[in-house]
Amino acid sequence: MLHQIEKISNIGFVGILVMLLVLTPVGENFGTIFAQSQNECEEELKTAQKKMETGKFDEAIELITQCLNKDSISNETKKQAYRLLGLTYIAKDYLGEARSAVSKLLDVVPNYQPDPDQDPPSFVDIVEEQIAERSQPIKQTDTQTFASEEEKSEESDKSIWWWIGGGAVVALVAVIVLAAGGGDDNGGGDPPAASLPDPPDLP
């Protein structure tokens, strides 16, 4: 019995040891890949910043996009990337793309606030505009509006038919009352029978 328990314990120990040997390299590799992607992305953002400052906007956008397409980058890095992307699009006067970049920035950091001391006024305005849009209630869709108008139309039709039906009933009752009243004026009975002529006198 003790021998069997010892054997089972040895098997369990060996299994745990094998799992550790297998999983440890996987964890190390994952950590290495994450760190590598993070470092590459940070370097790309630094280069993109320099490209933007020297007017090479398209090259800057390409580097920022490469960074954002990497897996397992931190939200802080994404925040920096989308901010820089928005600034680059503003520099190119691509305001629609800048708004899209700021919108994605707010998806990553919902409570993001621009820094008026470091960010240009145009960037601050777009951020505040996007924040204001997100705080507004959802507008009623055209489909919902159409359905609401259709329901109102149906209620109006029902109301009209109700009045028509009610008027018909009132008219019918009035006819019945008038007919009954006419019979009472005539005494309520049959009209008197015509009198017969007197018979002739006998000779």
Question: What's the pTM value of the predicted model, to 2 decimals?
Answer: 0.54
Model pLDDT for residues 143-163, shown as the tens digit of each residue: 555 556 666 666 666 666 566
Query: Which residues, in sequence order, are CB contacts of 66 under 8 Å at separation 6+?
Result: 44
18 against 116, higher pLDDT:
116
* Whether pLDDT at 24 is above 50: no
- Residue with the larger pLDDT of the pair 119 and 197: 119
pLDDT at 199 over 80: no
Residue 193, pLDDT score? 55
Mean pLDDT across 34-41? 82
**How many residues does this entry show for the chain?**
203
Return the structure tokens found at 184. Answer: 């009472």
